[in-house]
Amino acid sequence: MLQSYVPILILLVLATGFALISILLATFIGPRHPNTRKLSPYESGMTPIGPAMRRYPVRFYLVAVLFILFDIEIIFFFPWALIFRQLGFFGLVEIMVFILILLVGYAYVWKKGALDWE
């Protein structure tokens, strides 16, 4: 049973070896002429205007979490939409209950001011 993993092992060895050899070769035989322009984070792009690790408002986090929440809940509609004819009235009631619970959550988020930016 373990034999079937042999190809994966060979691939792992090959991939690691290839990466190591490329890096080592470049270190030994590649030319090196460093200057300030070459050492900047984006050699051929924008000039950096400040450090990347800056503080930003935590409100982004809240918006992101709310987005993920409602976004993923939408995913539950797709399987239902595919077979809603077969599910019939029962399926309709179930999805209504689901939407109702979502709506309560939405109303809650709205009323509590989680969507206000200012």
Partner 1 sequence: MNLPDYNFTALTPALILSLWAILILLVDLLFGERIQRWLSWLTVAGLLVTGASALSLWNVRAEGFSGMVVLDNFAIVVTVIAMIAGILAVLLSSDYLVDRDLFRPEYFALMLFSITGILLLASGRNLIMLFLGLELLSIPLYVLTGFARPDVQSEEAAMKYFLLGALASSFLVYGIALTYGATGSTDLLKIRDALQNVQVITSTLTLGGLILILVGFGFKVAAVPFHMWTPDVYQGAPTPITAYMSVGAKAGGFAALLRIMYVAFPQIASYWTGALVLLAIATLVVGNLLAIQQSSLKRLLAYSSIAHAGYILVGLAAGNNRGVAGALFYLLAYAFTNLGAFGIMIALSKKGEEADSIESYAGLSSRQPWLALAMTVFMLSLTGVPLTAGLVGKIFVFSAAAEAGLWTLLIVAVLTSVISAFYYLRLVVLMYMRDPINDFGTQVHLTPGVRTALALAVIGTVLLGIIPGNLIDFTNQTLAITTQTLVALVH
Nearer to partner 1, 21 or 104 (CB): 104
Among 33, 54, 55, 111, binds partner 1 (CB under 8 A): 111
Backbone phi and psi for residue 49, each to the nearest 5 degrees, phi listed first: -110, 0
Output Rg (C-alpha) for the chain, integer angstroms.
27
d(CA 64, CA 103): 18
60 touching partner 1, by CB under 8 A: no
Would you count residue 83 as binding partner 1 (CB under 8 A)? yes
Identify which of residues 42 and 89 has a Cβ nearer to partner 1 in the complex: 89
Chain centroid to Cα 19, Å, comes to 26
Can residue 27 be called a binding residue for partner 1 (CB under 8 A)? Answer: no
Q: Alpha-carbon distance 21 to 11, whole Å?
A: 15
- Work out how close the CB of 76 gets to partner 1 at its nearest, in angstroms, rounded to a whole number: 15
| Smaller CB separation from partner 1, 10 or 115 | 115
CB 50 within 8 A of CB 72: no
Question: Could you say whether residue 86 binds partner 1 (CB under 8 A)?
Answer: yes
107 contacts partner 1 (rule: CB under 8 A): yes
How many of the other CB atoms lie within 10 Å of CB of 103? 10
Interface residues with partner 1 (CB under 8 A) are 83, 86-87, 90, 101, 104, 107-108, 111
